[in-house]
Amino acid sequence: MKKYKLFGIINIIDLLVLVVIILAAAFLGTKFLGGSDTEGAPEINITFTTKEVSDFVVDKLADECSASEISDFIDKKQADADRVLDGFDDKYVEFAVEQGCRMYDDTEKIELGKCTNIKVSNSQSSIVEEGVWQTSGKPDYSWLEIKSTVNGKVLDNGVEIGGETYLVGDYVVLRAGVAKIYIEITDIEVVK
């Protein structure tokens, strides 16, 4: 039995198992209990945009962010039976949010900062009609742009937040307050 023991004290197999357990515990501890990898990282503004989202969702987002101007815009838009739906127009409402709602990637469970700005207009739908691209709106839907500010690591081709890389053009399932939206990242900029 002595020939399988290291220094005559501990079995080599037991030592290897113990080392693997310690390494696994250290890895999991730093992954789940370690400090945020964005502490001291630069501040980043991320813009999320969707061409069509239900007015109900936009109204819930506006309630969450105390943006009554947006709720009023949605109400007026829905009440206007003669509203022209022939394309995207420049009628919109924009609201800078002081106490923004929490935003996070619902799939990866990563915090994406606080909402700082909301912009809403008529929805945009593109269709081909008689060989020509047409843009039109859809009743009870809106075009939505949400901006957030978060700390992250700047990469050559995007940003890293919470260990996940985000790029312009990526789609995420975004939780903004009580709203859940499938939305595109349309801009990422580092705050100077």
Question: 3 pLDDT band (50/70/90 cuts)?
Answer: low
Q: Which residues contact 186 (CB under 8 A, 6 or more apart)?
A: 47, 48, 49, 145, 168
Question: Alpha-carbon distance 31 to 23, whole Å?
Answer: 12
pLDDT in tens, 16-69: 888 999 999 888 777 666 555 556 778 999 999 998 888 888 888 877 776 666
pLDDT in tens, 73-127: 776 766 665 554 444 455 666 767 766 788 889 999 999 988 888 888 878 777 7
HSE toward the beta carbon, residue 47, CA cutoff 13 A: 11
Question: 187 pLDDT band (50/70/90 cuts)?
Answer: very high
Question: Alpha-carbon distance 45 to 161, whole Å?
Answer: 12
- pLDDT-wise least confident of 3-7, 144-148, 164-168: 3-7
Task: State mean pLDDT over 138-166.
Answer: 89
Q: Which two tokens stand for residue 93?
A: 């409402």
Q: Which residue in 174, 155, 171 sits closest to 163, CA to CA? A: 155
